[in-house]
Amino acid sequence: MSANIVIGTQWGDEGKGKIIDILASRAEVVVRSQGGNNAGHTVVSNGKTYKLHLIPSGILYPNTLCLIGAGVVLDPKDFIGELNSLHSKGISTDNLKIDPRAHVVMPWHITLDGLSEEFRGNMDIGTTKRGIGPTYMDKYERCGIRVYDLVNPKLLKEKALATGKLKNKIITEVYGGEAFDLDKVIEEYIEYGKVLAPYVDDVSVLTYDANKEGKTIMFEGAQATLLDIDFGTYPYVTSSHPLSAGVCVGTGVGPKMITNIIGVAKAYTTRVGKGPFPTELDDEIGNTIREKGGEFGTTTGRPRRTGWFDAVIVRHSVRVNGLDGLAINKLDTLSGLGNLKVCVGYKKSDGSVIKNFPPTLEGLEDCKPVYETLEGFNEDISSCKNFEELPVACQNYIRRLEELCECKVCMVGVGPDRTQIIER
Ligand code: GDP
Ligand code: IMO
Ligand code: MG
């Protein structure tokens, strides 16, 4: 019996999907607790690539119960697209459940996401434009539509009319956009509700009972620590809590259930969207990492910004998440790059060097990364099966990351396939 959390320690896309898929082979339940289809989690198995956005990455195992918790925001149209895509590949979704409390992304949320980004001009956040922020805004304003409403036509009609009228006013009168035909929206969403109805169940109860029965549970984080609404690079963040603590709130279980917290990092750093990125490489090495690592967004296809491993941000993640271990993916991408740099601290304009990630953007602006140079490697490591098989320079790189981040590295990814993992 164990309840394990897997979360991102950087700015997302660390390979959480891959790690969850690997660990799900030993789990009976996989739970998503926050975020929405802004996430893009890739699983590669037997040469086939699956891109998941809302459905937990445990879905490839037919006997694994996959749960979408109350803290998730769910776009029913996209969700149904994902269901259909899995069905067409012969994957069953019979073991999938959605909490009735989860909030629904309505079409005006997506429109408002786009309009507010446009309005911000060059101060935009670079969101995925999936309506995530506006949906969480309504949730906290207490005017949101939940999955329970979606599957009850009378409630949906009532709530969608009330909130939809206000949204239309904002869209047309504030932004000069086009109003939604509310009757049409309601008609369309009633149909989505019919598809979703059989999947609705109380995820808090299901998770609690599974734990009581001694089953192994994996909580699948989406986004990442530096995108957390409070502990990330605000305002260049997402609108949820992708931290380990967010898992309990987003599922409806107590923190004492959690036995193990794994943070996933890349052996370097990437970011999509805008916002600070101290170790960003705007040069040939950055381009090489992007090309070799295939660093293009799973959800939006945008090229990811790339840079050296930043031990300051990962140490920040170790602290705010209480990590028990790190999984370092994409070590293979660093082969052939020459010497490798790792950021070990930030130097401020007064000459002092800090080790803790600054709480504000203003504080961060005053910081320049301090690098340590480590020996690189040229070998192809993609078929290495255990740590000792790795070139000595690779082993030293990982050991140094452990020291700097103050957390042991329990897994090392050497390729995208579920078999390309070294466990320690
Ligand atoms: P997630 O959002 O954290 O689940 O990560 P994404 O799926 O968005 O992005 C990670 C990308 O890296 C995907 O294309 C994965 O297939 C790939 N990947 C994961 N681990 C490794 C690894 O160890 N090596 C290589 N080369 N690719 C990896
Ligand atoms: P996974 O789970 C990387 C980023 C967006 C943008 C910011 C806010 O695949 O790691 P939002 O649409 O959430 O309002 O956008 O957050 N972002 C991600 N970046 N991986 C993700 O998810 C992300 N989800 C959101 O690019 O900068
Ligand atoms: Mg991703």
**What does the pLDDT look like over 243-255, one tens digit per residue?**
999 999 999 999 9
Question: Residue 298: pLDDT band by 50, 70, 90 thresholds?
Answer: confident
Instruction: State in Å: Cα 213 to ligand 2 middle.
Output: 35
For the CA of 8, the closest atom of ligand 2 is: 10
Q: Are 272 and 304 in contact (CB under 8 A)?
A: yes
According to the model, what pLDDT value does residue 270 have?
98
Q: Give the DSSP letter of residue 174.
A: I
Q: What is the pLDDT of residues 379-416, one digit of tens each?
A: 999 999 999 999 999 999 999 999 999 999 999 999 99
For the CA of 221, the closest atom of ligand 2 is: 2
- 382 close to ligand 1 (CB < 6 Angstrom): no
For the CA of 43, the closest atom of ligand 1 is: 16
Minimum-distance ligand to the CA of 221?
2
pLDDT of 45 above 80: yes
pLDDT of 269 above 90: yes
Q: In this prediction, what percent of the chain has a pLDDT beyond 90? A: 97
Taking residues 355-380, what's their average pLDDT?
Answer: 97
0.85 cut: is pTM over it? yes
Minimum-distance ligand to the CA of 14?
1
- Nearest in space to 316 (alpha carbons), one of 226, 236, 377: 226
Minimum-distance ligand to the CA of 15?
1
Instruction: State in Å: Cα 305 to ligand 3 middle.
Output: 13
Residue with tokens 């429109």: 111
Q: What is the mean pLDDT of the chain?
A: 97
Instruction: State in Å: Cα 41 to ligand 2 middle.
Output: 11
Tell me the torsion sign for CA atoms 269, 274, 275, 279.
positive
pLDDT of 93 above 90: yes
pLDDT of 300 above 90: no
Q: Are 144 and 169 in contact (CB under 8 A)?
A: no
Question: Is residue 416 reached through a cis peptide bond, with omega within 30 degrees of 0 on the bond before it?
Answer: no
What is the rounded CA–CA span in Å between residue 297 and residue 126? 12
Question: Residue 376: pLDDT band by 50, 70, 90 thresholds?
Answer: very high
Q: Is 41 a catalytic residue?
A: yes
Q: What is the pLDDT of residues 60-85, one digit of tens each?
A: 999 999 999 999 999 999 999 999 99
**From the candidates 21, 41, 103, 149, which is the catalytic residue?**
41
